[in-house]
Structure 1
Amino acid sequence: MYYLQRLKDLREDKDLQQSDIAKLLNTTQPQYSRYETGERELPIRHLVTLADFYGVSADYILGRTNDKKLHIK
């Protein structure tokens, strides 16, 4: 699952800890860790929140494109 590395890379690029992102998503650090490791699927609502937070498309996070830019039509 390519997106798992993207989640980690985006977080680390902003020098954030898993606990910081967990707070953003209103979840716990252990639960967020499960998303990054693939133990749990990332809910769509969290995907949308993370895409907005990082300023990238959901497709970028999911590995469907390598273009980080968010294209709004």
Structure 2
Amino acid sequence: MRSPRTFAFLPRSNRAGAVALTIALQMAAIYAPFMNNVLGTVPLAAWQLTSSFSLSRVIFILVEGERLREM
């Protein structure tokens, strides 16, 4: 039986690269002018981006804490 923390589809060595690529593509979708036109997005202000990252971190910690509590 596999651990709930393993990803069968992606080797451990490639995970950091996949996460970095995902973040880079999301930032490009928000901030690259040509992507703004294609996707109809507008750049976020620094406080909006910071609050988004902060809230996502809080949710991540709560979910991981709940998961660890159940073990």
TM-score, structure 2 length as denominator?
0.27
Relative to total residues, which structure has the larger helix share, 1 or 2? 2
Higher relative contact order (CA 8 A, sep 6+): 1
**TM-score normalized by the length of structure 1:** 0.27
Q: Radius of gyration: which is bigger?
A: 2
